[in-house]
Structure 1
Amino acid sequence: MKALKQNIILLTILLITISLTAQEVVKKDSIKQNLKFNYKQLIIPTVLISYGAIGIEKIDYLKDLNLEIREEVINDIDGRTTFDDFSQYAPAATVYALNNLGIQGKNNLKDRSVILGTSFLLVFTSVTALKRITNIERPDGTSYSFPSGHTATAFAGAEFLWQEYKDKSIWYGISGYAVATATGIFRIINNKHWLTDVAAGAGIGILSTKIAYWLNPYMKAKIFNSTEDAKTVSMIVPFYNGKEIGLGLLLNLK
């Protein structure tokens, strides 16, 4: 178990290192940044991931805590809802819905799609790696509990919604994080995850989106510098929802 915790801590450090490296690359290339870097932005996701990593050994405590959470939210703790299967995508989808309604966010369609694709790619790789490394048993007895992929996806989308619309109104961000939090709670209610899984998933989701924003100026200058004259912009985005692995296609027709 000691080696397990070391692997989790190493992956956390790796994610943070990627974000710091991205920031340094942006500075060296004198690229205008879309999101100013602040070390304080790493505190919340780091605390969440660390809490999840430290707490995975306390299974008996987590069983009691999960039971209390489920009893507080619903009377029938054996009930199951599919809310979390859909709500995990709601915050990210809201960004596109708002733009279609004429409420413009910070970035255009191409840029925000690249940012979201990068964020989901980071979520997919980190969550999948951690699930394989830890192989923690879920509350329902199945495998690969840590961390929660649904929660990571939801919080990545919530941070995406916040970054795109925080200059418009704080309520966009609050609503996105409320839905993401509800997604995590329902993962516990549905007996699919421990509280530590949900906490770590939230941290990974937030951190992944922050990294995606820090990387975006560099990607625009070095990777997508020839797309201004292109007719289409596309990106293949992997996803993992706790059971299935698949690919999604983002396509922007100019």
Structure 2
Amino acid sequence: MTPNGLVLFLFILSGLSGQIISINDSLKIGCPQNLKFKTKQLIIPAILFTYGIAAIESDYLKLVNTELRNELKESIDEKVTIDDFAQYAPAVSVYAINNLGIKGKNNLRDRTLILGTSYLLMGTSVYVLKNLSKIERPDGSSKNSFPSGHTATAFAGAEFLWQEYKDVNIWYGITGYAVATGTGFFRIYNGRHWLSDVFMGAGIGILTTKIAYWIVPYLDHHIFKLNKSVSSTMIAPFYNGNQMGVGMILNLK
């Protein structure tokens, strides 16, 4: 398979970042605080995307994937399922820290809009790329390895935690990225993904959260014009027999 289809899709995704409309100080109080667009913010996602796409065709990078997988396979005694939970930890931490009285950049309603937008963009991107690439997983269980959805979720949450709390304490964000990196490692360790899958997932997670911070304030103020506030919220894990995750219930007034 040639990576042309993937390049086209990622061009469209990245192109969203070029359609940012600056939000000035005249925005009403209560609008989400946005992340000012700067070209350098695209550098890390671009590097991760480049590696992930190049590994589809590059014999050398395919060899790197295989060698890393073989080295880890020799040391695996049993699979570790912590990555199924760790992927949600950075995002959930934002709400947990706020509940402790440590305020972040945005209020409950606004940050939830941002996280929801990020997850929507991230989930759509992962789904489309998995169906375009059809790359077999290291354990041979299916052909939807590229990119890593767990890693994308973890890094979307890590960037969310970073943006909300970097001005309060930089270590919150660093810890979030450490957890996200660990999630990616265990996806490789458990034979569910190649290194390139993890790189691509990380890039998608970071970029989609940045895009959410760029566009949500504009959409909120100029299109939706919502004045609702969240009066209560509940976060709880769920398990439907096949999948595990974290659900959120909001009471708007």
TM over 0.5: yes
Asked if the contact 2:23/2:217 (under 8 Å) is kept, the reply is: no
Asked if the contact 1:155/1:205 (under 8 Å) is kept, the reply is: yes
Deviations 1:154-194 (A, max 9, x none): 00000000000000111011000000000000000000000
SS at match of 1:251: strand
Unaligned runs of 5+ residues in structure 1 are 235-242
1:66 Cα deviation after fit = 2.3
SS at match of 1:227: coil
1:88 Cα deviation after fit = 0.1
1:78 Cα deviation after fit = 4.7
Q: Given the superposition, is the C-alpha separation of residues 232 and 62 from structure 1 closer, same or farther in structure 2, using an over 3 Å criterion?
A: same
Paired position in structure 2 for 1:237? none
Paired position in structure 2 for 1:180? 180
Q: Given the superposition, is the C-alpha separation of residues 245 and 171 from structure 1 closer, same or farther in structure 2, using an over 3 Å criterion?
A: closer
Q: Which moved more, 1:243-252 or 1:200-209?
A: 243-252
Q: Distance in 2 between matches of 1:247 and 1:221?
A: 29
> What count of residue pairs does the alignment treat as equivalent?
237
1:232 Cα deviation after fit = 7.1
Q: Which amino acid aligns with 2:128?
A: A
1:121 Cα deviation after fit = 0.3
Paired position in structure 1 for 2:76? 77
Q: Given the superposition, is the C-alpha separation of residues 144 and 78 from structure 1 closer, same or farther in structure 2, using an over 3 Å criterion?
A: farther
Q: Which amino acid aligns with 1:103?
A: I
2:16 alignment partner, one of 7, 15, 18:
18
Q: Distance in 1 between matches of 2:39 and 2:180?
A: 23
Asked if the contact 1:12/1:46 (under 8 Å) is kept, the reply is: no
Deviations 1:19-71 (A, max 9, x none): 221x13x4599758621111000010111011101012333431112233x26
Q: Which amino acid aligns with 1:151?
A: T
SS at match of 2:35: coil
Asked if the contact 2:85/2:245 (under 8 Å) is kept, the reply is: no
Q: Which amino acid aligns with 1:65?
A: L
Q: Does 1:64 align with 2:67?
A: yes
Q: Distance in 2 between matches of 1:222 and 1:144?
A: 38
Paired position in structure 1 for 2:87? 88
Q: Distance in 2 between matches of 1:78 and 1:195?
A: 20
Paired position in structure 1 for 2:227? 227
Asked if the contact 1:110/1:252 (under 8 Å) is kept, the reply is: no
Q: Given the superposition, is the C-alpha separation of residues 216 and 233 from structure 1 closer, same or farther in structure 2, using an over 3 Å criterion?
A: farther
Q: Given the superposition, is the C-alpha separation of residues 85 and 157 from structure 1 closer, same or farther in structure 2, using an over 3 Å criterion?
A: same
Q: Does 1:8 align with 2:11?
A: no
Asked if the contact 1:31/1:218 (under 8 Å) is kept, the reply is: no
- Identical aligned residues as a percent: 58
Deviations 1:75-107 (A, max 9, x none): 742520110000000000000000000011000
